[in-house]
Amino acid sequence: MRKGQYQFVAGFLLVPVALYLVFVIWPYIQTFGYSLTDWKGQSQTFSFVGLDNYVALFQDDIFLGAIWHNILFLVFIPVITILLALFFAFMVNAGGRSRAGGVSGVAGAGFYKILYFFPQVLSLAILSVLFGAVYRSDSGGMLNGFLVSIGLVDPGAPVEWLNEPNFVLWALIAVIVWHGVGFYLVLFSAAMQSIPRDIYEAALIDGAGRAQSFFKITLPLLWDAVQTAWVYLGIVAMDMFILVSTMTAPGGEFGGGPDHASETMSTYLMRNFLIYGKSGYACAMGVVMLLLTLILSVVTLRATRRERIEF
Amino acid sequence: MGSTSAHNNEGLGRRDLIKRSAALGLISVPTMSFLSACASSGGDDSGDKKPQGQKSKDNPFGVAKGGKIDVVVFKGGYGDEYAKAWEAAFNKKWGVTATHTGTQEITGKLQPRFNAGNPPDIVDDSGAQKIKIDVLHKNGQLLDLAEVLDAPSVDDPSKKVRDTLIPGTLDPGLQEGKVVALNYIYTVWGLWYSGKLFKEKGWTEPKTWDEFLAICKEATAQGIGGLAHQGKYPYYINVAIMDLIAKKGGLDAMKAIDNLDPKAFVGSDAAKEAVEAIYEVVEKGYLMPGTNGLTHTESQTRWNQYKAAFITCGSWLENEQLKQTPADFDMKFMPMPLLPGSKMPYEAIRAGSGEPFIIPAKAKNLAEAKEFMRLMLSKEWSTSFAKEANSLTILADGVDPSVKLRPGTQSTVDVSKKAGTNTFRYLYTEWYSEMDTAIQNASNELMAKRIQPAEWLKRAQAAVDKAAKDPASKNNRRD
């Protein structure tokens, strides 16, 4: 570019860059600053404590547990959601076997697409109320009511789904997966529809079954879409704030119970920040969260990089 | 996917760069919202001089006519109509215009204002999203209310305001020896039952723990749960546990906990027996099925449907359950039953006050705020509160006899009268939020049968010891 062009471009970028600096970058820096203090969150008086907060953080069993739970979410939510969505998308788009040589979805594919997408229109806040009723801990709950009626659960000792340390994380993962599969089904469907049919037809003529055409054709051609889905689901897994804080208790404010079994970094951060008045400490958690997510995103994007296929 | 450009190994292409930076940006979105929650805008500005009124016995704080006041009220179980009525009365008396905010999001609305040095003038800091008093106090945000409490009472100027209140009701507002929050509503805690159900079954109010267990046993045999508690919020079962400790071991056992004694739990016989007594209910299966995982409204509603004999709660229960309570339910309040060899009598109850009103130290209209609070403690305003919010205030005989009380509230009045001076009130919940949460977690594990009483004692003691390590805890003491 010539010199004048630089100035021209810079002139346009000046305002957005300034806004970005003030509203995005500056809070990061400010937070890092606060993380080195004993700020209590309700006034502007604090003193500098150096790295004390970080030292304390890595001796805090609850926070270390919370990191571990986020990592579990990060592993299971994307894997389960993407696998289910891929499976359904494949069945809806290319799983049918109606006409010889034709590539089409299973019967009623259009209807399924709408049905699967439906959970996506509900907000997480509504979901937490809905699944609160599903997981309710007495026989008034949907799951317990069902299990009691078929005689699997004793009405005098119903399963306290969200109050079982071994269960609560899976109960939350189930909600997120239920919510997310439909969206990624539609995303993958769109990507699948852009795969030329002749490839499938050629495979069919060569005698490929459903599994083979999925693994040899669909998945490789869908890789970009899967990668996108992975990044988005990674965001969900690192957060999980709404579901954990509204569906789980005890542990007082912002959920995380029972006994920190479903604690996430975000819920523990908020409790320290607002309830315990350890805001500087909470800011240190925020910085650690930022670093972890940055590392994870770099790793994810590196690990999933593939050769592109042209068609 | 559509067409993609060939990928050469010549470093980052323009598209890749944009894509990657977008992905990086996206993944840091959740972090960002939390980080920016931490951020704040600093800066204090000193208030400008306001016109001052003449100080007198009727106007001890020098309120000027035609001023302003900024009132923020928690709009929860008591609504905010009462505050609007007060503000109208305030305007009538002093010509002061009030800015009224009724909200459930106290923290969300006020935390930025406190931080910016621009708080409202008077706040009802309650509800699930209240800002903790200990936190506010440690930040130097609360006005010492001594000035209001030592001002002449509205109804009888020869008395100080503090002498017109029910004894002990100021204690929960104490932080480091100063009253910084006025807990306005008189509250008692204990067990509740349905008079109708008890009559039908021929049960009488149990006075000892054995009698209590006997009723639980009979109820369970008949398909009714024994004890219900608001499992999702272990705060409530902690009330039962702590009350048993206080009644068994006397006030000393209670103060040992508030004063972070190294033998508050481990090494205290009262604590040991109390926790074992509660655990007996769990072990013998006398809990209402599923109660451990229910929210407060869910389990209270089940109790209203006669699914449990007892529930533990404070005196707001009746108001909270108004819609769910059958007309002939006949709600009744009773003290915690006694363990053998208890130091306090059966009549003793946990009594005190809730719904803290605070005046921020940096309030712009301090004189108005103080006068507002003084008027809150007048008979007129107290009666207006009882009418609008169906509850008693801490003003002694503060309700006009013409106001008719509901059966549950009436029974709290009767029990309080019988208790007389035999009341007690824990303060650690107000002083040590983190310790409180840790004990609540332990109690949840106990109720779910995942830990035993000995482990509960150990965990509760660990929470106490941790709180004692904080140098700031030396400033909180009670005798």
Residue with tokens 């490839």: A199
pLDDT confidence band for B13 (50 / 70 / 90): low
Q: What is the DSSP letter of B312?
A: E
Using a 10 angstrom Cβ sphere, with 0-12 exposed, 13-18 middle and 19 or more buried, the burial of residue A308 is middle
Q: Contacts of residue B26 in chain A, CB cutoff 8 Å? A: 231-232, 235
Tell me how far CA of residue B262 lies from CA of A307, B462, B464, B477, in angstroms: 65, 9, 8, 14
**DSSP of A248-276, one letter per residue?**
---SSTT---STTTT--HHHHHHIIIIIS
* Interval A157-188: pLDDT, tens: 899 999 999 999 999 999 999 999 989 998 99
Tokens coding A233: 């689901």
What is the distance in angstroms between the Cα of B158 and the nearest Cα belonging to chain A?
38
Contact status of A249 with chain B (Cβ, < 8 Å): yes
Contact status of A59 with chain B (Cβ, < 8 Å): no
Contact status of B454 with chain A (Cβ, < 8 Å): no
Contact status of B285 with chain A (Cβ, < 8 Å): yes
Residue of A nearest to B289 (CA): A156
pLDDT confidence band for B248 (50 / 70 / 90): very high
Contact B441 A250 (CB under 8 A): yes
Contact status of A258 with chain B (Cβ, < 8 Å): yes
Contact B441 A141 (CB under 8 A): no
pLDDT confidence band for B10 (50 / 70 / 90): very low
Pick among A19, A23, A36, A42 to test the B interface (most B CBs inside 10 A): A42
**pLDDT value, residue B19:** 57
**pLDDT value, residue B47:** 43
Specify the domain boundaries for CATH 3.40.190.10 within chain B. 14-46+60-187+351-395+403-423, 188-350+427-475
When pLDDT is averaged across residues B167-177 and rounded to a whole number, the result is 87
Return phi, psi of residue A64, to 5°.
Answer: -65, -40
**pLDDT value, residue B228:** 96
Contact B30 A24 (CB under 8 A): no
Contact status of B221 with chain A (Cβ, < 8 Å): no
Could you give the 3-state DSSP secondary structure of residue B272?
A: helix
A:124-163 residues touching chain B, CB 8 A cutoff = 135-141, 144, 155-158, 160-163
d(CA B320, CA B127) in angstroms, rounded, equals 13
What's the maximum distance between 2 C-alpha atoms anywhere in chain B?
92
Q: Which stretch of B236-245, B272-281, B418-427 has the lowest confidence by average pLDDT?
A: B418-427
* Interval A255-289: pLDDT, tens: 887 989 999 999 999 999 888 888 999 999 999 99
Return the CATH architecture of domain B188-350+427-475.
3-Layer(aba) Sandwich (3.40)
A:167-206 residues touching chain B, CB 8 A cutoff = 191, 194
* Interval A35-73: pLDDT, tens: 999 888 877 888 888 899 999 999 999 999 999 999 999
* Interval B98-149: pLDDT, tens: 999 998 888 888 988 998 889 999 999 988 788 888 889 988 899 999 999 9
Contact status of A43 with chain B (Cβ, < 8 Å): yes
Flag whether pLDDT at A11 surpasses 60. Answer: yes
Contact status of A283 with chain B (Cβ, < 8 Å): yes
Flag whether pLDDT at A96 surpasses 80. Answer: no
pLDDT confidence band for B16 (50 / 70 / 90): low
Contact status of B430 with chain A (Cβ, < 8 Å): no
When pLDDT is averaged across residues B63-67 and rounded to a whole number, the result is 86
Flag whether pLDDT at B64 surpasses 70. Answer: yes
**pLDDT value, residue B51:** 62
CATH superfamily, domain at B14-46+60-187+351-395+403-423:
Periplasmic binding protein-like II (3.40.190.10)
Contact status of B434 with chain A (Cβ, < 8 Å): yes
**pLDDT value, residue A275:** 84
Contact status of B284 with chain A (Cβ, < 8 Å): no
Flag whether pLDDT at A100 surpasses 60. Answer: no
**pLDDT value, residue B2:** 39
Q: Which residues are CB-neighbours of A262 under 8 A, at least 6 positions away? A: A69, A162, A168, A169, A172, A244, A248, A255, A256
Partner-chain residue, chosen from B107, B141, B440, that has the shortest CB–CB distance to A43: B141
Q: Contacts of residue A279 in chain B, CB cutoff 8 Å? A: 38
Q: Please give the domain boundaries of chain A with CATH numbers for all domains.
A: 60-303 (1.10.3720.10)
pLDDT confidence band for B42 (50 / 70 / 90): very low
Q: Contacts of residue A258 in chain B, CB cutoff 8 Å? A: 441, 444-445, 448, 450
pLDDT mean across residues, chain B = 86
Using a 10 angstrom Cβ sphere, with 0-12 exposed, 13-18 middle and 19 or more buried, the burial of residue A100 is exposed
**pLDDT value, residue B34:** 53
d(CA B426, CA A104) in angstroms, rounded, equals 70
Return phi, psi of residue B229, to 5°.
Answer: -140, 165
Partner-chain residue, chosen from A221, A275, A307, that has the shortest CB–CB distance to B132: A275
Paired sense of beta strands B349-358 and B122-124, if any: antiparallel
Using a 10 angstrom Cβ sphere, with 0-12 exposed, 13-18 middle and 19 or more buried, the burial of residue B282 is middle
Q: Which stretch of A256-260, A296-300, B447-451 has the lowest confidence by average pLDDT?
A: A296-300
Question: Which tops the pLDDT comparison, B357 or A113?
Answer: B357
Question: Which tops the pLDDT comparison, A84 or A5?
Answer: A84
Partner-chain residue, chosen from B23, B43, B233, that has the shortest CB–CB distance to A301: B23
pLDDT confidence band for B476 (50 / 70 / 90): confident
Flag whether pLDDT at B347 surpasses 60. Answer: yes
Contact A163 B441 (CB under 8 A): no
**pLDDT value, residue B7:** 43
d(CA B30, CA A238) in angstroms, rounded, equals 7
d(CA A287, CA A299) in angstroms, rounded, equals 18
pLDDT mean across residues, chain A = 86
Flag whether pLDDT at B49 surpasses 60. Answer: no
Partner-chain residue, chosen from A137, A294, A308, that has the shortest CB–CB distance to B293: A137
Flag whether pLDDT at A251 surpasses 80. Answer: no
- Prediction pTM value: 0.82
Contact B139 A252 (CB under 8 A): no
Question: Percentage of chain A with pLDDT > 70?
Answer: 92
Flag whether pLDDT at B40 surpasses 70. Answer: no
* Interval B277-312: pLDDT, tens: 999 999 999 999 999 999 888 999 999 999 999 999
Tell me how far CA of residue B105 lies from CA of A78, B110, B126, B179, in angstroms: 34, 8, 10, 24
What is the distance in angstroms between the Cα of B367 and the nearest Cα belonging to chain A?
22
Flag whether pLDDT at B419 surpasses 60. Answer: yes
**pLDDT value, residue B1:** 39
Residue of B nearest to A302 (CA): B20
Flag whether pLDDT at A4 surpasses 70. Answer: yes
d(CA B397, CA B405) in angstroms, rounded, equals 14
d(CA A304, CA A308) in angstroms, rounded, equals 12
Residue of A nearest to B223 (CA): A156
**pLDDT value, residue A218:** 83
What is the distance in angstroms between the Cα of A261 and the nearest Cα belonging to chain B?
11
Residue with tokens 């119903």: A158
Flag whether pLDDT at B5 surpasses 50. Answer: no
Contact B114 A43 (CB under 8 A): yes
**pLDDT value, residue B70:** 94
- Please, what is the angle between helix B81-94 and helix B379-389, to 10°? 150
Paired sense of beta strands B182-194 and B331-334, if any: antiparallel
d(CA A111, CA B81) in angstroms, rounded, equals 51
Contact A42 B136 (CB under 8 A): yes
Q: Contacts of residue A308 in chain B, CB cutoff 8 Å? A: 4, 6-7
d(CA A240, CA A66) in angstroms, rounded, equals 11
Flag whether pLDDT at A142 surpasses 70. Answer: yes
d(CA B144, CA B150) in angstroms, rounded, equals 11
**pLDDT value, residue A101:** 47
Nearest to A286 by CA among A30, A55, A23, A21: A30
Where b means 16+ CB within 10 Å and e means fewer, B162-201 reads bebbbeebbbbbbbeeebbbbbbbbbbbbbbbbbebbeee
**pLDDT value, residue A288:** 93
Radius of gyration of chain A (CA): 24
- Please, what is the angle between helix A279-303 and helix A26-34, to 10°? 130
Pick among B15, B27, B459, B473 to test the A interface (most A CBs inside 10 A): B27
When pLDDT is averaged across residues B417-434 and rounded to a whole number, the result is 90
Flag whether pLDDT at A205 surpasses 90. Answer: no
Q: Are B260 and B461 in contact (CB under 8 A)?
A: no
Cα four-point dihedral sign B453, B454, B459, B462: positive
**pLDDT value, residue B416:** 87
B:110-129 residues touching chain A, CB 8 A cutoff = 111, 114-115, 117, 128
d(CA B166, CA B354) in angstroms, rounded, equals 13
Contact status of A256 with chain B (Cβ, < 8 Å): no
Q: Contacts of residue B450 in chain A, CB cutoff 8 Å? A: 165, 258-259
pLDDT confidence band for B45 (50 / 70 / 90): very low
Paired sense of beta strands B423-424 and B331-334, if any: unpaired
d(CA B469, CA B347) in angstroms, rounded, equals 36
Tell me how far CA of residue A264 lies from CA of A28, A137, A165, A267, B132, in angstroms: 20, 22, 14, 5, 22
Using a 10 angstrom Cβ sphere, with 0-12 exposed, 13-18 middle and 19 or more buried, the burial of residue B204 is exposed
d(CA B135, CA B123) in angstroms, rounded, equals 15
When pLDDT is averaged across residues B226-244 and rounded to a whole number, the result is 94
When pLDDT is averaged across residues B156-175 and rounded to a whole number, the result is 89
Measured from the Cβ of residue B154, the count of other Cβ atoms closer than 10 Å reads 18
